[in-house]
Amino acid sequence: MASQSNQQHFLLVPFMSQSHLIPFIEMAKLFASNGVIVTVVLTPLNAERFNMIVDQAKASNLKIQFHLLPFPCVEAGLPKGCENMDTLPSPKYQPLFFAACNMLKEPLENWLSELEKLPTCIVSDICLPWTSNVASKFNIPRVVFHGISCFTLLCSHNINLSKVHERVDSMSTLFVVPDLPDTIEFTKAQLPEAMKQDSEAWKEAIDQFKESELSSQGILVNTFEELEKNYVRGYEKVAKKVWCIGPLSLHDKLTFGKFGKDDKGLINDSESECLKFLISNKACSVIYVCFGSLSFIPASQLKELALGLEASNHPFIWVIGKNDCSVELEKWLKEENFGERNKGRGVIIKGWAPQVEILSHPSTGGFLSHCGWNSTLEAISCGVPMITWPLFAEQFFNEKLIVQVLKIGVRIGVEVGVDPMDTFKDEKVLVKKEDVKMAIEKLMENGVEGEQRRNRAKEIKYMAYKAVEDGGSSDSNCKLFIQEILEQSS
């Protein structure tokens, strides 16, 4: 532990979305277990989601606290209680949500100006570029946190720099990303919205993020060096100082993937159902299906998925996220008697599933995923091969890394991203039930290819565990980062 005089105090400022908050809370635990006092800026409803985890951390003498700022829903024109991206009634509210997050600047500054002793470092989400002004106003070192891979960071950098995507003649023309260690191709239709749309608002946002990165002392990334060594090295050459400290969720092995990890050892209903189901199935036989925290998938598409899962003849756990659980889908499931028809062979979870617990169970043999980076890292940490079904944002980059570079996944075959703002506009079916069935059969097959894929997934899981062990690359990078901040503040 650090002595009182050089006690570090890090202020963590996450973007208020579940896939940002989860790694930030894990990062808080990691820093605190390295002797740092950590304050996480949250809003009241978001804090409620993480109180239990932080209480557990405190019980282990970790110095973590939350600083709560009221979320300006009304001022930003959002419905009351929309403090997290996953509570928005439709993706159309996203610009207002970003605006509300930007309004947190002033109350944060007010709070800082009242403190007797300022934090020694600000760790800011890349999505909150205004923390750059806060840091310079109070003269606090600031680093940026990226919850995406170095593969994505380097691809994006090289595409933006070369503007290769602006020279293609159509959305479906393949182009090669220049200056990468492998031949990586994309179409414009697969790029994140900010890169493919020619709008001033997006350009401005990208400039702000870039500016925010440039004005920081360096970049923390939720990845590990061994996973994507060539891409980490490549990104280090074009970026500020980079510290790879992931997989963040794996540092706390006491809680990683444990069912019933609350303080009373209780398991809630969906955990209990999943656990019973997983126990009743053979090793590596269950397909887990989940599209993260922000999907809005039309019912027509989900019906195809359901029929494909059924046709595959493999046991499955299918998470229908809150926003995907439409009246139309519910009606169809009921009319088809889908649950009853698949009783014993499939479990449907509506809302939120204990994803890490499911992935780390020995019965889980495959993960059909939208390729969000947290989900990808969790699958990697659990050694589970994936079926890739990217939707939007940087998910096509992650698919490339999973399938082509790491060779631990099978594509379901989507060629174009959906517009996250427009997903309900038409009832597009991009993936047919036959595609779902085929991808599952390919992933789960017992031939040489399937075996090689599973073995690679296991090897990479082993590397991930090594990275977070004492003296491993991520553990060392975390310590180096803390040391560097200590040297600056003293």
Peptide bond into 247 cis (omega under 30): yes
- Closest distance to ligand UDP from the beta carbon of 433 (Å): 23
DSSP-based helix, strand, coil % in the chain, nearest 5 = 50, 15, 40
CB of 269 to ligand UDP, least distance (A): 14
Q: Is residue 384 near ligand UDP by the rule CB under 6 A? A: no
- Please give the distance of CA 456 from its chain centroid, rounded to a whole number: 22
Helical spans, DSSP H, in 401-447: 433-444
Which residue stretch of 27-35, 368-376, 411-419, 441-449 sits at the interface with ligand UDP (rule: CB under 6 A)? 368-376
Asked if 474 is part of the footprint of ligand UDP (rule: CB under 6 A), the reply reads: no
Cα 180 to Cα 231: distance, rounded to the nearest angstrom: 8
User: What is the closest distance, in whole angstroms, from the C-beta atom of residue 474 to ligand UDP in the complex?
Assistant: 17
Max Cα distance, the chain (Å) = 68
> How near is the Cβ of 420 to ligand UDP at its closest, in Å?
10
Here's the x/- map for ligand UDP, 190-209, by CB under 6 A: it reads as --------------------
Residues in the chain: 490
Spatial neighbors of 100 by CB under 8 A, at least 6 apart, are 71, 72, 73, 75, 76, 78
* 292 binding ligand UDP? (CB under 6 A): yes
Compute the least distance from the CB of residue 472 to ligand UDP, in Å: 21
* 27 binds ligand UDP, rule: CB under 6 A: no
Query: CA-CA distances (angstroms) from residue 432 to 174, 186, 220, 304, 396?
Result: 23, 22, 39, 6, 19
Contact between 360 and ligand UDP per CB under 6 A: no
- 380 is an interface residue for ligand UDP by CB under 6 A: no
397 C-beta neighbours (distance < 10 Å), count: 27
- Is residue 22 a contact point for ligand UDP (CB under 6 A)? yes
Sequence-separated (6 or more) residues with CB below 8 Å from residue 195: 156, 159, 160, 165, 206
Q: What is the DSSP string of 38-69?
A: EEEEE-HHHHHHHHHHHHHHHHTT--EEEEE-
Cβ-contact 109, 69 below 8 angstroms = no
Task: With contacts defined by CB under 6 A, name the span among 76-84, 165-173, 226-234, 290-298 that binds ligand UDP.
Answer: 290-298
**How far is the C-alpha of 221 from the C-alpha of 231, rounded, in Å?**
12
- Binding segment for ligand UDP among 90-98, 138-146, 178-186, 372-380 (CB under 6 A)? 372-380
Residue 201 CB, nearest approach to ligand UDP (Å): 21
User: Which lies closer to ligand UDP via its Cβ, residue 134 or residue 329?
Assistant: 329
* Whole-number Cα distances in Å, 101 to 50, 94, 112, 140: 19, 11, 17, 21
Site for ligand UDP in 312-351 (CB under 6 A): 319
Residue 34: what residue type?
N
Residue 20 beta carbon to ligand UDP: minimum distance, rounded to whole angstroms: 8
Question: Is 18 a residue that touches ligand UDP (CB under 6 A)?
Answer: yes
Token pair 């290769």 is at which residue? Answer: 164
- State the amino acid at position 324 in one-letter form: D
Is 352 an interacting residue with respect to ligand UDP (CB under 6 A)? yes
Binding flag, residue 302, ligand UDP (CB under 6 A): no
122 contributes a contact to ligand UDP by CB under 6 A: no
Nearer to ligand UDP, 40 or 134 (CB): 40
Q: How many residues bind ligand UDP (CB under 6 A)?
A: 17
Binding site for ligand UDP (CB under 6 A): 18-19, 22, 290, 292-294, 319, 352-353, 355-356, 372-375, 378
